[in-house]
Structure 1
Amino acid sequence: MGWLTEPLIGTITPLELITFFLLQVAAVITARIVNMLIRRYLDEPVGKRLSKSVGRASQYTIIFTAAVVGFSTILNLDLSAIILSLGVAGVAVAFASQQILQNAIAGILISIIRPIQLEDWIEVGPIPLTGVSRVKDITLMNTVLREADGRIITVPNSQIINGKVINYTRAGLTAVNIPMWIGNVADLERITQIVREEADRHPRIMPKVSEEERNAVSRMFERHSIRNLFGNEHNLCTLQPQVNLAEIQGTRARVVIKLWVREPNLREEIVSSFLAAVSARLTQENIELRDP
């Protein structure tokens, strides 16, 4: 077995190469086990978001440390000399892998500044703009989203950092604007009353919230972004539905109904059921709607 200790590449022997390889394999296996254990024991106490970040950071740290130890201790290589010796070849590789580096750096930035987190409801743009999607995973290179209709979307992390991201979860609530043409401007007051009555009956339209949600909504009004939006009004009355007159053409008019909801993934379902109820009330009271 003397060949194991004979130099194979420079001063590196086959035994050192085998040891280096086994160390990297052991590091990858250990890193995955550590990640799994952290997720198992921390998911419930601290939540999936934090536990996944801690697990992934631990995994990358173990693998990186094993690589450094392997190169410097087992193979006895000077890493700084290797990096400097790359020269033009290193520059060429850097240009070729520019997109990969951008996504990796963006992944690190996402973990630091946290514009999005696991389980957030978001939209990503500019083109193509995703639908309302839930963040299911954030890796070093990509962010995995699940749209409300079940489709899985993989978005490069550089698009998250450089593009337009709408975070509905962080906002806490979102406005829904519904245009409607009415046959007679004189019916506006009655239509406003009907809209507010039907919105009040709907369990998913604010300001109606359950007792369990009331404390969460109260805390929401303490956020800086919400205070900028509503000023000093810190109560649910500021979220009352509105019927705004947008355009008048003769006797008919276009109004815009503004509602506030907390579940952007159910926006279409909420609007559909609300409009069905309003339409039934308008028909019952002989209030005419017009085509656009």
Structure 2
Amino acid sequence: MDGEVSNGILEQMIPYTDITLSRLIFAMAVLIAGIFTVKLLARIFRKGIEKAKLPDLTMHFLENFLSILLYVIVALVFLKSLGLDVDSYVVGLSAVIGLVLGLGMQDTFTNIASGVWVAAVRPIDMGEMVILNGQTGKVKSVGIMSTELLTADNQLITIPNKLVWGSSIVNMTRMPTRRASVDVGISYSSDIEQAIKIAIDLMKRHPLVLQDPGPSVIATELANSSVNLQLRAWTKTGDLMAVKNNLTAGIFEAYKREGIEIPFPQMDIHVKEIKREATEIQAKGIGIINLD
């Protein structure tokens, strides 16, 4: 008797629908099982592509793409389990896509296509410091629609993929070595040859500066108050900021110790003698000027 009551409850229709309670329970079980299956397959897929030694960015993009595709399939299976006409939903989805395109929303698909190209060509990779569309930061992720950068002051910047692929990309950490450049000005009365020698010696003694290519110093400008020099030292990319900071402080101390003046901007004002001119004006009766 209890079994018949239970069966009767399970076969009752949900109000305002043609779906029975038993079918709803079955569909929910399918949905939950589908979600766990998607996560499991995504994990298995990631482990599989890790063996191919693909870049992290490419693996992350492919994993996200596969997950979205599988979730769409799970949603369709869930609707089918409810007894709904999935074919009509697919047709409806196609119509929506066509409407979206007709309303000028092609940017969505452009972003997806651009994300595929970024993942395939790989001008950037996870953890690299880059400049994208005028924004500077470390690559945090490249998704289906957008790329995320993390700035040095911990701001998260999201850039649509079409702007990433459609603009110039500056990758500051892809190459193994970089050149550190430090600008410094010396006074016109200083010995330029001595100043260059001091700078060269400073760079050669630095343990992080590479000797091949060797360090160099060039005169970049004859400015208003100084002769501007630029110290150029090659180093490993990871040591760039340390080398630049050390050379900036080091050249200041070295020039100060050796008597090489680093001038500050100044302006010379020449005052003309006006006493004689004032006297002539007074003699002509134009006016009286008190020069005391």
Matched, 1:281 2:281: no
CA contact (8 A) 1:6 1:14 kept: no
CA contact (8 A) 1:6 1:13 kept: no
Q: Secondary structure at the match of 2:174?
A: helix
The Cα offsets for residues 58-112 of structure 1, whole Å up to 9 and x where unpaired, read as 423433444566678974533664356x27x842576364444333332222222
**Relative to 1, partners in 2 of residues 1:51 and 1:105: Cα closer, same or farther, differing over 3 Å?**
closer
Match of 1:135 in 2: 139
Match of 2:171 in 1: 167
Matched, 1:28 2:62: no
167-176 or 42-51: bigger deviation: 42-51
| Separation of aligned partners in 2, 1:14 and 1:106 | 45
- Aligned-residue offset at 1:137: 1.8
**Relative to 1, partners in 2 of residues 1:192 and 1:163: Cα closer, same or farther, differing over 3 Å?**
same
Match of 2:6 in 1: none
1:66-77 alignment, distance < 5 Å = 66-67=74-75, 75-77=84-86
Match of 2:234 in 1: 260
1:209-224 alignment, distance < 5 Å = none
TM-score by length of 2: 0.66
**Relative to 1, partners in 2 of residues 1:183 and 1:172: Cα closer, same or farther, differing over 3 Å?**
same
Match of 2:186 in 1: 182
| Separation of aligned partners in 2, 1:279 and 1:96 | 58
Q: Secondary structure at the match of 2:112?
A: helix
Match of 1:149 in 2: 153
Match of 1:198 in 2: 202
Larger-Rg structure = 2
| Separation of aligned partners in 1, 2:198 and 2:63 | 52
- The number of residues matched between the two structures is 253
- Point out where structure 2 has 5 or more consecutive residues left out of the alignment: 1-9, 266-292
Ranked by relative contact order (alpha carbons within 8 Å, sequence separation 6 or more), the top structure is 1
- Residue in structure 1 matching 2:92, options 82, 89, 92: 82
TM-score by length of 1: 0.66
CA contact (8 A) 2:186 2:261 kept: yes
**Relative to 1, partners in 2 of residues 1:182 and 1:64: Cα closer, same or farther, differing over 3 Å?**
same
**Relative to 1, partners in 2 of residues 1:152 and 1:24: Cα closer, same or farther, differing over 3 Å?**
same
**Relative to 1, partners in 2 of residues 1:249 and 1:162: Cα closer, same or farther, differing over 3 Å?**
closer
**Relative to 1, partners in 2 of residues 1:3 and 1:190: Cα closer, same or farther, differing over 3 Å?**
same
Q: Secondary structure at the match of 1:170?
A: coil
| Separation of aligned partners in 1, 2:117 and 2:40 | 25
Percentage identity across paired residues of the two chains: 19
| Separation of aligned partners in 2, 1:106 and 1:14 | 45
RMSD between superposed Cα atoms in Å: 4.0
**Relative to 1, partners in 2 of residues 1:70 and 1:120: Cα closer, same or farther, differing over 3 Å?**
same
- Aligned-residue offset at 1:17: 7.1
| Separation of aligned partners in 2, 1:46 and 1:248 | 52
- Point out where structure 1 has 5 or more consecutive residues left out of the alignment: 209-235
Matched, 1:114 2:88: no
| Separation of aligned partners in 2, 1:109 and 1:103 | 10
**Relative to 1, partners in 2 of residues 1:53 and 1:103: Cα closer, same or farther, differing over 3 Å?**
closer
AA in 1 matched with 2:118 = I
AA in 2 matched with 1:199 = M
AA in 1 matched with 2:256 = T
